[in-house]
Amino acid sequence: MKIPESIRIGGVEYAIRYEKNLRDGNNLLYGQISYDDCHITLSESDGTSHQKRCQTLLHEILHGIRNHAGLEIENEEEIVDMFAKGLYQVLQDNGARLFDLKERL
Ligand SMILES: [Zn+2]
């Protein structure tokens, strides 16, 4: 999986940024989505693997889809995390079977 410079969710373009020591108060974060500023920030800390960044990107995309739908979900973090990890595995292992992966001109 590649991490693009931006991604469109619900017709809105979200820039993807990187930040060392990404935090929410005292908590270190792997990622964060800003609905108002339309960007996703991923942790740039050295200990974060590419695989973890990809899972985190999917996690934040799923939050964005939920927000675009205007849906409130109880236990959103757990549900989003389950689908992000599951989707990452399925897409990684089956991407060539599911998508035409030829470069578009
Ligand atoms: Zn989350």
For residue range 55-103, list pLDDT tens digits in order: 999 999 999 999 999 999 999 999 999 999 999 999 999 988 998 867 6
Q: Between 3.30.70, 1.10.10, 1.20.1260, 1.10.260, what CATH number should domain 6-98 receive? A: 1.10.10
Return the pLDDT at 105: 56
4 C-alpha to center of ligand 1: Å? 19
Distance 74 CA to ligand 1 centre (A): 13
CA of 49 from ligand 1 middle (Å) equals 18
Per-domain boundaries in the chain:
6-98
Ligand 1: centre distance to CA 80 (Å): 7
Distance 81 CA to ligand 1 centre (A): 7
Sole residue written with tokens 């990452």: 88
Q: Report the candidate in 71, 84, 7 with the shortest Cα–Cα distance to residue 38.
A: 7
Helix, strand, coil: what percent of the chain each, to 5? 40, 25, 35
pLDDT tens-digit readout, 21-48: 899 999 989 999 999 999 999 999 888 8
